[in-house]
């Protein structure tokens, strides 16, 4: 690997919690799509998807593409996805392709058996990576660190949350999240 390639993969881990190649590979395997087909669903060119997967590019620059990625991961991560017909799966992929959601939109769980209760809004995927994705989509690591510094004196807990969830590594963010959600012992 070249220095630029290594740096791009490290940035992806910082911004998205893991290399984008890993995330895209899981989707390709789960959906049975080619890279070109997945690129079409996400709203990217096939060469751009390839560059992101290989680490030749580091960042998804479009908030709409990032939103589609999060939505797609949540949709196919739902166990009910397996029960859908191929026609219904194709329809839902077309819906993702047409979506113009912002990265701050909560994803509605649309994959349900026919007898299921109405959909409830749910964050896409793992809450820690959703939080990281949102923070990293709206600000760079340097901006998040600067905001944390400004908050430090009056709001130290909020500053720590920005630092850990916004600029920290995903395993550290998960540990922090678990500690916060669990509350005082």
58-77 pLDDT, tens per residue? Answer: 999 888 898 889 888 888 88
Q: What is the pLDDT of residue 61?
A: 85
Cβ burial, residue 122 (10 Å; 0-12/13-18/19+): middle
How do the domains of the chain map onto residue ranges?
3-104, 127-180
For position 137, what pLDDT does the model report?
A: 77
What CA–CA distances, in Å, run from 82 to 11, 30, 52, 87? 33, 10, 28, 12
Instruction: Calculate mean pLDDT across residues 96-113.
Output: 51
- Checking 38-41 for CB contacts under 8 A at 24+ apart, the result is 40/97, 41/68, 41/72, 41/93, 41/96, 41/97
* Confidence band, pLDDT 50/70/90 cuts, at residue 123: very low
Q: How confident is the prediction for the chain on average, in pLDDT?
A: 81
Burial 29-52 (b: 16+ CB within 10 A, else e): eebeeebeebbbbbbbeeebbbbb
Q: What is the pLDDT of residue 171?
A: 85
Mean pLDDT (whole number) for 140-169: 89
Q: Is the pLDDT of residue 37 over 90?
A: yes
Taking each helix axis from N to C end, the angle separating 86-98 and 63-77, rounded to the nearest 10 degrees, works out to 160
- pLDDT score of 82 more than 80: yes
């Amino acid at each position: 690997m070249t220095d630029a390639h290594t740096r791009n993969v490290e940035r992806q881990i910082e911004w998205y919690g893991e290399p984008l190649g890993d995330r895209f590979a899981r989707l390709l395997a789960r959906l049975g799509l080619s890279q070109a087909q997945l690129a079409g669903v996400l709203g990217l060119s096939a060469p751009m998807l390839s560059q992101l997967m290989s680490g030749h590019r580091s960042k998804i620059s479009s908030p709409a593409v990032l939103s589609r990625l999060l939505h797609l991961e949540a949709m196919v991560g739902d166990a009910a996805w397996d029960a859908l017909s191929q026609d219904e799966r194709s329809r839902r992929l077309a819906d993702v392709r047409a979506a113009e959601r912002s990265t701050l939109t909560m994803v509605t769980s649309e994959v349900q058996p026919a007898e299921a209760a109405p959909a409830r809004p749910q964050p896409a995927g793992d809450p820690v990576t959703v939080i990281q994705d949102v923070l990293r989509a709206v600000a760079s690591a340097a901006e998040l660190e600067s905001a944390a510094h400004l908050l430090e004196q009056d709001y130290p807990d909020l500053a720590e949350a920005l630092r850990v969830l916004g600029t920290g590594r995903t395993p550290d963010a998960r540990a922090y999240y678990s500690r916060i959600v669990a509350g005082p012992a």
